[in-house]
Copies of this chain bind each other. A is one copy, B any other.
Amino acid sequence: MVSTIPLLDYLFNTRNVAIIGASADSMKTGGVIFNNLIKDGYTGNVFPVNPRYEEIGGKKCYSSISEIREKIDLAIIVLKAELVSDAVKQCVKKEVEYAVIISGGFSETGDAGKKLESELLKIIEGTGTRIIGPNTVGIYLPYMRLNTSLTPADRVNFPGEGRIALVSQSGALGLLLMDEMSEMGTGVSCFLNLGNRIDLDESDLLQYFESDNRTDSIMMYIESVADGRKFYNALKAVTRLKPTVVLKSGITETSARAAMLHTGAMSSDDAIFDGVLKQAGAVRASNETELYDFARVLAYNPEMRGKRVAVITTAGGAGVVSTDLLTSMTGNGKLELSTFSDSTKSAIKSLIVPFASAANPVDITAEGSVDTYEKILEILVRSEEVDAILAFALPQTARMNESIVPVIKKYSKFKPIVVSIIGSKLAIPLLRKFEGEGIAAYPSITRAVESMKALHSYYRMRGGSGD
């Protein structure tokens, strides 16, 4: 089998896109996608294909893809299921690299649809054309403003350019996650929805990301794996360079049945899958929030070399709750609180008010200023007793403000720093500021703590951190 990497280069550098089934009716899917591509400012060329129109939105409309003179990299197919085979045949003839089949009505609907999928596979066999989908919302590449999704932009926000790749077997979950990521200002390097995944699969993408210089970490939602061996190899290779977080659902008997009804996927034994992930060095998420949270902590932080965590806070209660959560066993294990030496303690003691705590968690109280915070970070980063720092950056007291962002940014180069912020009024704008600077900040104590455990888990699997 030919490596998929050169082919995926075409996909991620698409210049000319045809829409087979484009429509002038903005209420129809073929109209929504055409409008999205134009309005979003896709940097390449769009070629509408539909025998019923001369032109759409001022662009010449072709009666068939064969009429187009230019080379087509990507064809988006928005036709009824029974018309898709013929369109794919034409794509093969035109030597289109990728056919993104938006249409539903395939294996997810039963045996007749499954037969249609087999037909499609036969058509592309031995050709240079690859299929994405069917039953997919397609691909989103913010760096070239290519968005094949059928969701109008007035209903969902799409993230800007970022360093995290998102691959999802479910289209809706992927779109909803991107909407959520946008709210925080988190960008993506790409989004691809596998849909029924009859050809291009999650492993092809992992192979591509290995050398993709736009991607630092990978988020993947899957209900099943197309090819276990290929998946394991691709995952093991990519995780050496790019931390990968996998949300695999369908783990119980009941949910496996639900998954089958959703994308026709047969999910395998969960314990086996769990072992595969661990051996391949991938981090597992147990829900959609962890998927997003873990991808950020892994993309933004340096290596975590051990499990000893220092906590710094201006609110004593937050320090106590986080200590509970850090030292309790959850999905990604448990961590330890650093034990400070006398010299560390006395260095901290000299910086804080008498009733503040110089032990770990370091509680600089509501009296604590950004300046004090910085001096303590300096001590913690230099200390041999500390592997990572959980930093409460609570903007609600008089001496804390947004200048905490560059301070934490400065020290986050040397050791992992995970930020937790609670509240809303000043908290939400501050969370966005941290995210903009590439610092993993979370609006809850648990989310920060679980993310730090995921970070530790990733480096422990790579053999880099003591356990």
- Chain A residues within CB distance 8 Å of chain B: 104-105, 108-110, 113, 151-152, 155-157, 168-173, 175-177, 179-180, 182-183, 221, 223, 247, 249-252, 254-255, 257-259, 261-263, 286-289, 314-321, 323-325, 327-328, 336-337, 354-355, 357, 359, 361, 363, 366, 394-398, 422-428, 443-446
**Pick from B108, B182, B315, B359: contact of A257, CB under 8 Å:** B359
Measured between beta carbons, the chain B residues less than 8 angstroms from A319 are 258, 262
Contact yes or no, B249 A180, CB < 8 A? no
Pick the contact of A251: B113, B152, B251, B324 (CB < 8 A): B324
- Check if B317 sits within 8 Å of A172, measured CB to CB: yes
Bound-complex Cα distance A106 to B177 (A) = 48
Collect the chain B residues with CB atoms within 8 Å of residue A359's CB.
257-258, 261
Question: In the complex, are the beta carbons of B316 and A262 less than 8 A apart?
Answer: yes
B321–A176 CB distance below 8 A: no
Chain B residue with Cβ nearest A184: B424
Query: For A173, what are the chain B residues with a Cβ–Cβ distance below 8 Å?
Result: 315, 317-318, 321, 422
Contact B172 A425 (CB under 8 A): no
In the assembly, what is the distance between CA of A179 and CA of B221, in Å?
33
Q: Are B104 and A151 in contact (CB under 8 A)?
A: no
CB-defined contacts of A179 to chain B, threshold 8 Å: 396, 422-425, 427
Bound Cα distance A104, B366 (Å) = 11
Does the CB pair B394–A170 fall under 8 Å?
Answer: no
Please tell me if the beta carbons of B396 and A357 are within 8 angstroms of each other in the complex: no
Closest chain B residue, CB of each to CB of A253:
B327
Distance A320 CA – B254 CA, assembled complex (angstroms): 9
- In the bound complex, do residue A396 and residue B151 qualify as a contact, i.e. CB atoms below 8 Å apart? yes
Evaluate contact between B155 and A395: CB separation under 8 angstroms. Answer: yes
Contacts of A168 in B (CB 8 A): 317
What are 25 pairs between A and B in contact, CB < 8 Å?
Answer: A105-B355, A152-B398, A155-B396, A155-B425, A157-B424, A172-B317, A172-B366, A175-B396, A176-B423, A179-B396, A179-B424, A180-B423, A182-B424, A221-B317, A223-B320, A247-B321, A249-B320, A250-B324, A254-B323, A255-B323, A258-B319, A258-B320, A286-B325, A286-B446, A288-B446
Residues of B within 8 A of A157 (CB): 424-425
CB distance from A281 to the nearest CB of B (A): 23
Smallest CB–CB gap between A104 and chain B, Å?
A: 7
In the complex the two chains form, is B172's CB within 8 Å of A316's CB? yes
- Chain B residues within an 8 Å CB radius of A250: 320, 324
**B residues in contact with A261, CB < 8 Å:** 316, 357, 359, 363
Shortest CB distance A396–B (Å):
5
Q: Which chain B residues lie closer than 8 Å to A394 at the CB level?
A: 172, 176
| A323: nearest chain-B partner, CB-CB | B255
| B residues less than 8 Å from A317 (CB atoms) | 168-173, 221, 223, 249, 262
CA distance in complex: A398, B152 (Å): 9
B residues less than 8 Å from A287 (CB atoms): 321, 325, 444-446
Across-interface contacts of A171 in B (CB, < 8 A): 317
Q: Which residue of chain B lies nearest to A319 when distances are taken between CB atoms in the complex?
A: B258
Known: A182-B425, A249-B323, A255-B324. 15 other contacts (CB 8 A): A104-B355, A151-B396, A155-B397, A170-B317, A172-B315, A173-B318, A180-B422, A180-B423, A180-B427, A180-B443, A183-B425, A183-B428, A252-B327, A262-B320, A286-B328
A158 to chain B, nearest CB (A): 10
Question: How many Å from the CB of A254 to the closest CB on chain B?
Answer: 5
**B156 and A423 within 8 A (CB):** yes
Q: How far is the CA of A175 from the CA of B142 in the complex (A)?
A: 39
A172 touches B289 (CB 8 A): no
A176 to B424, CA, bound (A): 8
Q: How far is the CB of A222 from chain B (nearest CB, A)?
A: 10
- Report the Cα distance A366→B32, complex, angstroms: 15
Q: Complex: how many Å from CA A212 to CA B211? A: 63
